[in-house]
Every structure is written in structure tokens, then in C-alpha cells.
Structure 1
Amino acid sequence: MRKKFHGLKKPKIRQDWSKWNLYNLSRMVTPRASNLTFFQQKWLAKSLTRAYHGEQIREGIWTRMFDRRLPAVVPMDHKVLARTDGSDQAAGRGSGLDQDPAAQDESRGRRRTPQPTPHMHMTYHPTERRLDTAIWRALFASSTRQARQFVVHGHVKVNGKKMIYPGYLLNPGDMFSVDPERVLFATGARKYNKNNPDAYEAKSQHEEIDQVVDDDAEDLLEGEEEEGAAKEEEKPKEEEKVEEIPEDPKQALKVLLSRAKQITQAPNQKISGTRKQDLRSFQQEVKRVLSKIRGTKYNSKQPIEETIEGLEETLNTILGKIATASADSPAAASSTPSTPTSSDTTSASAPTTTTSNPQMQDGREDAYNAARDARLLHAALERAQENPVDVRKPYATPWRPREFMSAFAFIPRYLEVNQNICSAVYLRHPVARPGLAEVPTPFAGETMALAFNWYLRRR
């Protein structure tokens, strides 16, 4: 990509999702033609429009693709077409059979003005047939250059066959598909955004890197322990008389880690969400300590023992909180009201403060809150299962849309897109209708007309 791809002094609109492009769109105006010659006006319009429409296409290739015939259609009344066999329409214009679009509406008493057909907006309609442009229009890539890269790298199929030519011209009915992982990477938020270090991606990046480093360190420590045990078995018996080595801190840390995992994965142990978070945080802390002491020698004077003692105290504190919570839950359950007795009936006659809300009566509030929390937890687990956290992905997880995507998220009429399988069908060629041109463009009709005239004299 060129260095000044998004120029701010001389803005040029590009086919990509970025804050620079969005800023240039917000301050785009139609060029003034008061002090320019007609040739200069055409050249300026060509320069602006070519920066957006197919800037990845070489000028010579686009000049051969240019077609002076601009496709357009005239809407027909579907009721008339269903009522007749088409012979009336075959009679041709001027026969008096076609209706005047500006005829007076007698029922409403007002005159209907016809909408002009924006033919000039169809100047670059041949570029919409290209495979890389269609991928970008279908929201499978964040720019036409990225869509071109996907095609060249073999991540795109057309009608079930791999297509590596980004200039392939689609025909009506062709179906193209992109690898879902590439689509998630292209349209998802970045894992680390260097331009916004306070963003969610920047915060989650450090946590995910620490997790990966800790897991790798744990695997490496396990391999080192196995190799050490094998070497100790192969040593001669004379070496066993050497002074005994003190307890290995790594082994102590591994014991603490295994205890925390057993408590978390115990099937019959009812642990609240807060205690589970404490246990997970404890496991991460143990892994960090393991990664820091990798490949070092230990003795009784090192402060690692103090760290291990602190971790043991932390684990004992968490276990004490879990035991307290489990001891309180049966007591709360036993305190629920049972069958009414005589004392209950006598107390019922006394004036009591009751509410009309059944959820607030005699312990039902706790049951209601528990059921509500269970529903919320179940919904959260379902969302986490559909969109999990995966540190191995090159994009931020859980997946969320890319920044500045909403301003460019639209699909033209000539494409039928299925986002679930990352596939789309090229239904037909784009056309112009009264008041609508199906080739999306940010430029005014005057600018597109000048660009059309520039290429018209070249053919």
C-alpha cells in the first residue's frame, strides 16, 4: 500500500473501512468548475472517481473494460404484465399504449413528476463484476485490496472451485464464498490497536499474551521435570550420597495448582461465581510465578518460599470462604416455612406487614433471585459458547465488529449474501432505474458525467 493512500491535504475516497476514509467522506464536496477548463474538469473528475472505483485496477485494463453503453431499465406495471400476454408492450413507444408518467392523478388531484434516471452513476458498472469488488461489496473484506489478497492466497471459491484471479468477471448466478476465518479476521476488531492503547483490544491483548506465556511455561516445566527424573535414575549410586537438595519450589507450586484445579472441577462441590473467579485468578498467579522461576537455581535464602507461603494462605482463605458459603446455604434452606402450625395460625391473626407482590413473601424473594440469576447465567454461558474467547485467533475474541464499519455496512441489490456461511450469489448485472443507480458511489452526478466524458473520448 502506498504511503499516502489516505491523503488528508488532498482527500481521496477509497474503498475501505477506516477512520481516515470516513473523515474524507465527511468533508467531501463537489469540485468547483468556475476557474477550470473543460479538460481540467474532466481530468479532475477522472482522478477522484478512479481513486474510489477500482483503484487496484491498472488504467490500461480499466480503459479496455469501459463501456459507453450504460445499462438502465424502465419499471413496468406488474398488474398489466400479469393481465396481458405482452403484445401491448411489443407494440412499441408512440403507439399510444404506454402511459404518460406525468399524467394527472385524478383521485388525489395533483400532478406526478417523473424521477430522472441517473445514467451517469453507471460509468463504472463493469468494475462491479470483478471478484475482488464483489467480495468487498458483500462485506467479506474491509477493503478491495484485502479482498484481492484473499483471492490471490486461495481463500475464495467460485461455484465450488478455487479462484486465484481477482479480476475474474462474475456472471449472473455465480456463487462465491470466502473462508469464514478470513472473514472474521477482516471484519472483526483488531486484537491490539496501536492507535488506541486504552481500547478493549489493547487490554485484552496483554492478558491473552500472559495466558499463552504461562501455558507454554507450564508445558516446558513439565518437560524439564521429566528429563530431570530420567537423569536421576541413570546416575550411579555413589552420587546418591551427595547432600540432599531442598524441596523444589516448582513442585510446591504445581501442588497448589493441582489443588485449585481439583476444587474448581469437583462435580459435587457447589461454588459461587465469585469463588470460581478467585480460583481462576489464583491459578493464573501460580502460572505467572512458574514462568518467572523457569531455568533458575533455588536455595533456602531466595524469596520464592515467601511467595509460596503467600499463595498457600490465599488458597486457604478461598477454601474458608467456600466452606462458609456451603455451611450457610443449608441453614437458609432449612429456615424456609413448612406446614403451618397452631403458633403460626395465632401469629397470622396478628397484624403483619404483607405486600401484594408474591415474590416478596416469606422467603420467595430469595428463590426468585436465585431463579433469575440462573437464567442470566444460562444466557451468558450460551453467548460465551457461541462467541468464545480464543487466544489463538488473530483477531480480538469474543468477536465484535471492526471499528468504523457501520458507515460502510450496506449490500447492493444485485448481490444475495448469506453471512452464516460467508457465501454470496451474483444475481444480475447492476442497472439504473428512475431515481436509483445500483452502483454505489459517493460522488455527485456532475462528477460522474465528467469522468464518463473523459473516457468517452478515449474510445
Structure 2
Amino acid sequence: MTRRLNVPYSLTRKRIRASFSKYNVFNAMTWRKQRPLSTQYRQLFFAKQESRAYHGDRLTEQQFKNHFRAEQPVRTPLESRGPEREIPFGLQTFVGLERRLDFAVFRSFFASSVRQAAFFILKGSVMVNGVKVRSPGYILRPGDMFSVSPQRVLFALGRPKPSVNQSIKLTNNIIKKFNKYIDRCHANPEKMWKKRLENRRKHRVYNARLEATAGQKREQRVQQIKQNFETQRSELEPTQLLKQIMLGQFVPRKPELNSLVTEIRQQMKPAEQGSKNDVISATSATSATSATSANSKNSADSVNSATNASNATNANSSTSQLPQLDRLIKSEQEVLEQQYKADLAAAQTPVYDPEFVNRLPPKLDLLPEDADPQSVKLNLPFSSTGKLYGLSDPAKSWFTPWSMRQFVPTFAVLPHHIEICFESCHAVYLRDPVARPGHSEIISPFSLDIHERAYLWYIARRRKHLPKLD
């Protein structure tokens, strides 16, 4: 008789296992409960078969019966607040398996599967209360503390380490893509500049330092634009604007307003002549009463004050008499505000720098197939290690620099009955998982009806006279 092929992650049978494997993730996402079967036996057998694949697929049927207990630990509050909810007794079917050491190691995220947790225990990498235990079926009691070797945990939760040939092949593919990028930048610099900005917006964590530097420069430009706007807006006061018009220094921002400026200047000529006569009379009156140099200095001050007073008086009187001046000020303010908004929008977007192509690193040469990972030293601008892909430290048995394996967050559900310390790879088994109204502490991907049918299957086939749970 041929030996049965053991394929735990078959994509056709779609059995959900207690594992972080990517194939198991696919089976869990595509698993669909079958239609109600014809007989009750087939329904119970199907529920037992599916739930057993997750809760201890490496155990025999006899071991399952040994762990099964008819009594189920639950907690019923004396006073229920809010709507009454049913206690999910069926989810407590496999509570006896949660007391096993291999299950506890897997629930604590110290192994990627229950099978791997059992392998760590058999190799002597797990200690319970400071004593090395080599039995995966060791039953934990409330208060027991267990620990796993940190090297084993890094290996279990880290990305798989590639071989030297795979690493060289992947590194050469990265170098080829980098060389193509350099060629495209030299061929179309402006297009690649815009594309690089889009990529930086997508990967802000990777470019955090560059984004901070660009943010400081952008803030300085915005402050400068605001200061220029305030200065130009202050120059649009009626008195300042009339002075510039009469001196011929004002140039409107719209060419069609030149005729309006000329009209304002023609209307201001009589006021200008009157101000000059006032200044001459004030000067003659003060010079007649002054005899000393000190008095002449005072007379000059009085002349300036008289001139400023007369200019301000004439400017204010002419301002109220010139509706053209109001039109000019409003149009200039509108143009100034539009320019201010355009400058702010331009300051928020980086300016194209045609010299960035000259700052790009040169193209890289491909690695030979027999390259030594110890002696390889790459000059990749996006790699700080300078080593082969995943082999920055070839002595380690996991992907270096260490990074978490894929799809671990899919199963990241912390248990209620275990207190975990990830810094030291220690955990404390607080108590057996219990059920409360509307909640069960057993972690399972199946619904309540599946567990209830599995319970009915094992309650009829359980071993009698087993000791009760503590």
C-alpha cells in the first residue's frame, strides 16, 4: 500500500490550518461552507473534519478524544446589563487543546504554525518555568510562564532567507531596473522629474527626510511671498498711490489702466499747483523771522511740516473727489490677490530642476553568478547595507535585514488568556479560555454552528471517566 501524500495546504481541498502560510491565507479567504448535507451524520462529520483541520491537524483521533471534555468553562455574570446575549457554548469544544504547550506557543506569535511550535519544543528551544520541556503535549496550568529562544522567534516570523543564487538573480534584476531608470532620466528629464515627485508622494515614509527638507524650503518661500504681498498692498494706500502717480513712478499691472492713470494725473495738476504756492508762502514767512543758523534749521523743519500737511490735505481732498482712484485701487488689489494666490500655489509645487540628471549616480555593472556574498559590496543608492538581496548577514538563518513575513497581520489576534512580552519572548498562561455572554476566548475561523456539530460528534465518542478540567 502506497504511503498517503501529506499536503496540508492543498488549494483544492481548502482546509484551514493554524498557520501563517500564504497558501493557508488563500484557503481561508476562499473557503465556503457547503450546503446542508442530506443526513445528520454527514453534517456532523463535515463539521468535525473542517474544525479538526484547524485545531490540531497533526494529532491523531485518539489524542483528540483524550483532550475533549464534556464540561466547558464559562462565566455567567450575576447581573446582566443591557440586552441578554446567549453564551456560545459550542465554541468551547476545543478548549482542552488550548492548554497544550505547542498551541500556547503558536497563540503567543512565537511560531508561524502549530507544527513549527512543536518542532521548536522537540529541539529544546522552549522553557516552562525555567525548565526545558521537550513534549509538545505538555499541559499548562494557570500561572505557568514559558519562553522561546529569540533566535527561533526571529526565524519563525521573519521573511524566508533566499539562497545565494536567488539573491544574485534578484539583485541583478534590481540593477537592470536601476540602469533602465537612469537611461530614461537622461532621455526625458522633465517627464521623469514629474514621475519621481509622484512616487515620492506615494512613499512618504521612505522619503521622510527629503520631505522634511523640502517642507522647510517651501515654508521659507511662502513666508517671503506673504511679506511681499503685505508690502505691495501697503503701497496701494491713496496717499502713497497719488505720490507715485504725480512723480510718474507708478506703472499699473494692467496695460489698459494707463489711460486711467493719465486722467488722474491731469485732474491732480491744479491741486499740485496750489500745494506749491502754499509751500512758497510758508517758506517766505519763516525766512523773514529767522536771523540765526539755529533759527534757519527750525524754519526748515517748519517748511517740511507745512509741506507734508498741505500734501496730506490736498491728497485727502482729492481722494474724495476722484472716483477713478477708487477704481484703480480696486483693480490693482484684484490683480495683486490673484498673483498672490498663484505664487502660493507655485510655492507648494516643486520647481523643475533640469540639473537633477547630472546629480544621478552612474550605471552599475551586473554581478557574476559565482559572487561571494561576504565580499560583495554594492553601491546602490537605495540600499544602505551594500550587500546582496536578503543576505546582509549571511550567517543568520533568516532574511537580513530582518523584516516580518507576509500575511502575519491577517492572523494577528492576541489571546485573552495569555500575557505576552515580545521584547523578551516570554509569556504567561493566565487561565483557561472561557466563554461569556456573546463572546468566547477561543480563536477560530469557523462559525458557532460548525463548533456545535463538532461537539455533538465528540460527545458521543468521548472517553469516559476522564479527570475534569481544573
- Could you state the TM-score of these two structures normalised by the residue count of structure 1? 0.50
Are residue 113 (structure 1) and residue 83 (structure 2) matched?
Answer: yes
Q: Which amino acid counterpart does residue 76 of structure 2 have in structure 1? A: V
How far has the Cα of 1:113 moved from its partner?
2.4
Q: Distance in 2 between matches of 1:202 and 1:410?
A: 37
How far has the Cα of 1:99 moved from its partner?
4.7
Are residue 60 (structure 1) and residue 30 (structure 2) matched?
Answer: no
2:409 to 406, 409, 427: 406
Aligned residues: 250
Q: Distance in 2 between matches of 1:433 and 1:171?
A: 21
Q: Distance in 2 between matches of 1:202 and 1:72?
A: 56
Whether the 8 Å contact between 1:185 and 1:394 is mirrored in structure 2 is yes
Note closer, same or farther for the CA distance 1:444–1:205 as it changes in structure 2 (3 Å cut): farther
Partner of 1:41: 43
Whether the 8 Å contact between 2:161 and 2:391 is mirrored in structure 1 is no
Note closer, same or farther for the CA distance 1:36–1:431 as it changes in structure 2 (3 Å cut): same
Are residue 431 (structure 1) and residue 401 (structure 2) matched?
Answer: no
Partner of 1:184: 154
Partner of 2:275: none
Partner of 2:107: 137
1:10 to 8, 13, 21: 13
Note closer, same or farther for the CA distance 1:38–1:48 as it changes in structure 2 (3 Å cut): same
- Could you state the TM-score of these two structures normalised by the residue count of structure 2? 0.49
1:203 to 157, 170, 187: 170
How far has the Cα of 1:389 moved from its partner?
4.1
Q: Distance in 2 between matches of 1:19 and 1:100?
A: 42
Q: Distance in 1 between matches of 2:94 and 2:25?
A: 22
- Matches for 1:251-400 after TM superposition, within 5 Å: 389-400=392-403
Q: Which amino acid counterpart does residue 413 of structure 1 have in structure 2? A: H
SS for the counterpart of 1:125 is coil
Q: Distance in 2 between matches of 1:206 and 1:149?
A: 36
- State the Cα deviation string for residues 3-62 of structure 1 (Å, max 9, x = none): 4211222210001111111111112223321x4200110011101000000112211011
Note closer, same or farther for the CA distance 1:155–1:2 as it changes in structure 2 (3 Å cut): farther
Partner of 1:283: none
Partner of 2:206: none
Q: Distance in 1 between matches of 2:54 and 2:139?
A: 19
How far has the Cα of 1:203 moved from its partner?
3.4
Are residue 128 (structure 1) and residue 130 (structure 2) matched?
Answer: no
Note closer, same or farther for the CA distance 1:73–1:392 as it changes in structure 2 (3 Å cut): same
SS for the counterpart of 1:453 is helix
Are residue 149 (structure 1) and residue 151 (structure 2) matched?
Answer: no
Partner of 1:175: 145
Partner of 1:303: none
How far has the Cα of 1:64 moved from its partner?
1.6
Are residue 166 (structure 1) and residue 136 (structure 2) matched?
Answer: yes
| Deviating more after overlay: 126-135 vs 185-194 | 185-194
**Percent of aligned positions with the same letter in both sequences?**
39
Partner of 2:453: 450
Q: Which has the larger radius of gyration?
A: 2
How far has the Cα of 1:192 moved from its partner?
1.4
Q: Distance in 2 between matches of 1:204 and 1:192?
A: 11
Q: Distance in 2 between matches of 1:202 and 1:138?
A: 36
RMSD: 3.2
SS for the counterpart of 2:51 is helix
How far has the Cα of 1:167 moved from its partner?
0.3
Whether the 8 Å contact between 1:187 and 1:402 is mirrored in structure 2 is yes
Q: Distance in 1 between matches of 2:461 and 2:51?
A: 16
Q: Distance in 2 between matches of 1:169 and 1:201?
A: 46
- State the Cα deviation string for residues 189-223 of structure 1 (Å, max 9, x = none): 111189xx6xx89736999xxxxxxxxxxxxxxxx
Note closer, same or farther for the CA distance 1:202–1:418 as it changes in structure 2 (3 Å cut): farther
Note closer, same or farther for the CA distance 1:99–1:411 as it changes in structure 2 (3 Å cut): closer
Q: Distance in 2 between matches of 1:70 and 1:39?
A: 23
Q: Distance in 2 between matches of 1:113 and 1:397?
A: 52
Q: Distance in 1 between matches of 2:405 and 2:124?
A: 23
Q: Distance in 1 between matches of 2:57 and 2:27?
A: 16
Note closer, same or farther for the CA distance 1:406–1:449 as it changes in structure 2 (3 Å cut): same
Q: Distance in 1 between matches of 2:65 and 2:57?
A: 13
Q: Distance in 2 between matches of 1:5 and 1:170?
A: 27
Q: Distance in 2 between matches of 1:437 and 1:129?
A: 15
Q: Distance in 1 between matches of 2:410 and 2:169?
A: 23
Q: Distance in 2 between matches of 1:54 and 1:99?
A: 37
SS for the counterpart of 1:417 is strand
SS for the counterpart of 2:145 is strand
Whether the 8 Å contact between 1:191 and 1:204 is mirrored in structure 2 is no
Partner of 1:104: none
1:50 to 49, 52, 66: 52
| Deviating more after overlay: 175-184 vs 403-412 | 403-412
Whether the 8 Å contact between 1:191 and 1:201 is mirrored in structure 2 is no
- Matches for 1:210-249 after TM superposition, within 5 Å: none
Whether the 8 Å contact between 1:45 and 1:451 is mirrored in structure 2 is yes
Q: Distance in 2 between matches of 1:397 and 1:201?
A: 14
- Structure 2: unaligned runs, 5 residues or longer: 175-382, 385-389, 463-470
Moved over 3 A (4+): 98-101, 200-207
